[in-house]
Amino acid sequence: MFHGTERHRVCFQLQVKPERIDEYRRRHAAVWPEMLRALKASDWNNYSLFLRPDGLLIGYFETADLASAQAGMAATAVNARWQAEMNAFFVALDGAPDTGFLQLTEVFHLEDQLDAISTATERSTS
């Protein structure tokens, strides 16, 4: 959770086919402007992708609600085109890339733990 707002951090994993890594990088160096605007309008915020040399892809974004963010993108024509093109880049994908990813479980967040310490300290001094 974020300070005073209902924001969730989403981290996910996919595997890019080794022979498609260079092309995947090229495609993401210049994502279609319409796709960028659709992501932002659908509440995909602070969105980043990280790619290891062997094709392991880790994605991260913040949203109020994952299901709503995915549904918002599913309702756009640009997303259907983008997902159709991106699907061929991934190994063993169950569905479209934006819904078929493996979501990772967050086990640590610095600010959450610092907030917990601060709150506990405030309670003990009151």
Residue 28 among the catalytic residues = yes
Distance CA 1, CA 10 (A): 11
Distance CA 47, CA 59 (A): 7
Which residue among 3, 8, 28, 109 is the active-site one? 28
Q: Are 24 and 16 in contact (CB under 8 A)?
A: yes
**Segment holding 99, helix H or strand E:** none
Phi, then psi, of 26 in degrees rounded to 5: -60, -45
Nearest Cα residue to 61 out of 112, 106, 125: 106
Question: Which sequence positions are flagged as catalytic?
Answer: 28
